[in-house]
Amino acid sequence: MKNIITYIVIAICLISSIWIGINNNKEEKSNYSPSKKELKLRELNNINKKIDYFQDKNLDRYIAYKKKNKQLKIKDVIKRVNIGLDKPYYTATQKTPYQNKDYILVNKYIYMDENYIPNNLEDLEPSYSRSGMKLVKTAKTALEEMINAAKSEGYPIRVMSSYRSYHYQVSLYNKYVENDGKEAADTYSARPGYSEHQTGLCIDIDDGVINYTNFENSKSFKWMQENAYKYGFILRYPKDKTEITGYTYESWHYRYVGKEIASYIKKNNITFDEYYVMFIENKN
């Protein structure tokens, strides 16, 4: 009898402690309210835990951009806002923090100083380029290797434009504005300071026969599509990426970024603008 009473007492104690436990839990849950920031992060599927290019300071911009662009994956929302694409071109601009690096990014949000002239500019050879063309030494070496490889396989490549100074871009841009108006000029020409040609790391090419604006229709273009990355060059303004690059398709414009970056960009089918906000910005 005594044993039975003891068992009953123990049982009552156990049941009541479990009951209290459950109720306490309920209370904790019902009292918990997530912060505004947590709610916003939930809206972005807590992607901040999965990618390291998430920037806290852009949180509200991510949310706003996502609402306007429901078809985009959250990762793409993050990348595009980091690039600055939620704001009109040539607004919220900043000067590039880098000089004389293969990974300098110049676009409609990042510009180069009007006094910036890259180090180690070298003349290109008349055998494969128009006269007076210059390129940064590392890019020139890679270019010559690429042109020789293409030539030996039967695909001629000629350089029509390369390094352009700030002041040259001023006269070029002004001429376009005079002819077509500012709005139209902005769709195909960079404003001074915003031209990638000032980096001394990019080239406009043709095959020596077809006009460079039709380079897409040449066999040499096809060769470049398959091989440029092996020499550290990328097609900078692809046909299906105009929303991201801010430039209309340019089959003739190639940018030297080095073999490692070029291979990643080619393999993952992204733009250099995306690569920059994913791996370079805020990391050096």
**Residue (80 or 253) nearer to Zn ion, CB:** 253
**Residue (237 or 276) nearer to Zn ion, CB:** 237
Confirm whether 243 is a catalytic residue: no
Tell me phi and psi for residue 136, to 5 degrees. -65, 140
Query: Would you tell me which residues interact with Zn ion (CB under 5 A)?
Result: 204, 253
Place of tokens 């209370």: 27
Helical spans, DSSP H, in 35-96? 36-43, 59-68, 74-83
**Residue (78 or 244) nearer to Zn ion, CB:** 244
Give the residue at shortest CB distance from Zn ion.
Answer: 253
Measuring CA to CA, how many Å separate 95 from each of 159, 167, 276?
Answer: 28, 17, 15
Burial class (CB in 10 A: 0-12, 13-18, 19+), 96: middle
114, 250, 260, 274: which is the annotated catalytic residue?
Answer: 250
What is residue 161's three-state secondary structure? strand
d(CA 173, CA 185) in angstroms, rounded, equals: 7
d(CA 113, CA 107) in angstroms, rounded, equals: 13
In the DSSP assignment, the letter for residue 243 is H
**Residue (79 or 253) nearer to Zn ion, CB:** 253
Residues with active-site annotation:
250
